[in-house]
């Protein structure tokens, strides 16, 4: 009995010698399930700033391997959107793969100009696959108070090889559809399209199938300023005889969908000059540094409406602020001198994030969201 008692005293002294204290942390040992295994636990005495509680490796007599304590986290709420425009029922499935391929170029333009406050919207023809030749674009997502900087209509002209104007010169005319009187009907337009507002004309030599573009800023302005939005009409005529060959009837969907690109800017943002922050060089001797942190929209469930990007590196600021440096703010220096509390390692400079997404109408918007990507960290 005395022998066992002596052994317990020796073990108690041995364990006590292995207890270390470092910056408010104390380590203690617990016996594992197996008699030859010990688990090292990190007990943290919390200060006024956050400290991450990490477990150290498990050690046994054969090998060293890593274990991780799985902490049950509360359910994360990903309904706190960056934009109120994202707050709608996402049960409707939008097919990202069935979009015109070159829509990505408009997203890349916004990425290349992250300081821009311009919003780009892609509005699809609401009358596609209908018997009516009228191209109708809903403007619900456009703010009448915004300034329309530019607007372009893109359509795929599927000209058949058997057409009488194939490889010949042709004229494409775009009209703003107007209702002249109560008795007016669409058949009247077929006989005399010039009774409507002519906005743009394209002369095509050696006509063949492919994408065509019209400038349509004027009709967009007219509709936003109170004129009734009855749509657009596109006619195709022979160049030599000016004979009306056909009225473009949009039956295209998916990769060949007809759409309008509208670039707008809020009145309040015109005078703003966003300063693009440069990325700080990492100081190997500083404990407060920028650390990689990747956010994946698929994991958040936002892939139901976010088209681009699928993920991005937002970065985070990690490390202790145990002492002040010349680069720290004066306020942080006072905190240190008066020992009020330790400064925190926090983001201080950012870059915007460009997001391309579906709105609740099934159209697309491209916006730059300010202060989303960390470029610099400081102790504050």
Strands 306-308 and 345-358, sheet pairing: antiparallel
Which residues, other chains included, contact 64 with Cβ-Cβ below 8 Å and sequence gap of 6+? 57, 58
* Per-residue model confidence as pLDDT tens digits over 357-380: 999 999 999 999 999 999 999 887
Provide the pLDDT for residue 197: 83
Provide the pLDDT for residue 17: 47
Average pLDDT, the chain: 77
pLDDT band at 57 (very low <50, low <70, confident <90, very high): very low
Q: What is the pTM of this model?
A: 0.72
Percent of the chain with pLDDT over 90: 38
Average pLDDT over residues 56-80: 44
What is the distance, to the nearest Å, from the Cα of residue 306 to the centroid of all Cα atoms in its chain?
6
Provide the pLDDT for residue 180: 62
Which residues, other chains included, contact 212 with Cβ-Cβ below 8 Å and sequence gap of 6+? 154, 155, 156, 157, 172, 202, 204
Q: Measuring CA to CA, how many Å separate 350 from each of 55, 105, 197, 311, 341?
A: 32, 24, 47, 17, 26
* Per-residue model confidence as pLDDT tens digits over 128-140: 777 778 899 999 9
* Per-residue model confidence as pLDDT tens digits over 92-134: 878 888 899 889 999 999 999 988 999 999 999 998 777 778 8
* Per-residue model confidence as pLDDT tens digits over 346-359: 999 999 999 999 99
Q: How far apart are CA 235 and CA 316, in angstroms?
A: 55
Q: How far apart are CA 127 and CA 136, in angstroms?
A: 6
pLDDT band at 12 (very low <50, low <70, confident <90, very high): low
Average pLDDT over residues 219-230: 92
* Per-residue model confidence as pLDDT tens digits over 17-30: 444 444 443 333 34
What is the distance, to the nearest Å, from the Cα of residue 372 to the centroid of all Cα atoms in its chain?
10
Average pLDDT over residues 79-88: 86
Provide the pLDDT for residue 63: 35
Which of the listed ranges 174-178, 211-215, 283-287, 340-344 does the model predict with the highest average pLDDT?
Answer: 211-215
Provide the pLDDT for residue 190: 57
């Amino acid at each position: 009995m005395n022998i066992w008692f002596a052994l317990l005293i020796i073990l108690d002294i041995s364990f006590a010698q292995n207890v270390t204290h470092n910056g408010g942390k104390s380590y203690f040992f617990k016996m594992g399930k197996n008699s030859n295994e010990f688990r090292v636990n990190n007990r943290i005495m919390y200060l006024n700033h956050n400290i991450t509680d990490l477990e150290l490796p498990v050690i046994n007599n054969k090998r060293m391997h890593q274990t991780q304590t799985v902490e049950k986290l509360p359910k994360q709420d990903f309904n706190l959107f960056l934009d109120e425009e994202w707050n709608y029922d996402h049960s409707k499935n939008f097919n990202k793969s069935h979009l015109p391929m070159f829509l990505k170029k408009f997203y890349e333009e916004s990425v290349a100009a992250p300081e821009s406050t311009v919003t780009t919207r892609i509005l699809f023809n609401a009358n596609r696959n209908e018997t009516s030749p009228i191209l109708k674009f809903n403007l619900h997502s456009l703010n009448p108070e915004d300034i329309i900087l530019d607007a372009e209509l893109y359509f795929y002209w599927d000209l058949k090889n058997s057409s009488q104007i194939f490889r010949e010169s042709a004229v494409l005319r775009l009209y703003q559809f107007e209702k002249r009187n109560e008795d007016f009907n669409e058949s009247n337009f077929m006989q005399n399209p010039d009774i409507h507002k002519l906005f743009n004309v394209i002369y095509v030599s050696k006509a063949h199938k492919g994408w065509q573009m019209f400038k349509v800023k004027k009709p967009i302005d007219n509709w936003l300023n109170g004129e009734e939005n009855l749509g657009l009409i596109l006619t195709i005529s022979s160049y030599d005889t000016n004979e009306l060959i056909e009225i473009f009837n949009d039956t295209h969907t998916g990769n060949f969908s007809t759409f309008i690109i509208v670039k707008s800017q809020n009145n309040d943002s015109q005078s703003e000059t966003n300063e693009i922050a440069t990325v700080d060089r990492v100081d190997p001797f500083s404990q407060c540094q920028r650390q990689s942190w990747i956010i994946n929209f698929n994991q958040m469930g936002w892939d139901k409406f976010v088209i681009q990007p699928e993920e991005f590196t937002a970065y985070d600021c990690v490390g202790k602020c145990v002492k002040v440096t010349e680069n720290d703010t004066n306020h942080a220096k006072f905190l240190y001198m008066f020992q009020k509390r330790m400064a925190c390692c926090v983001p201080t400079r950012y870059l915007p994030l460009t997001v391309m997404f579906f709105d609740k109408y099934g159209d697309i918007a491209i916006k730059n969201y300010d202060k989303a990507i960390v470029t610099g960290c400081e102790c504050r």
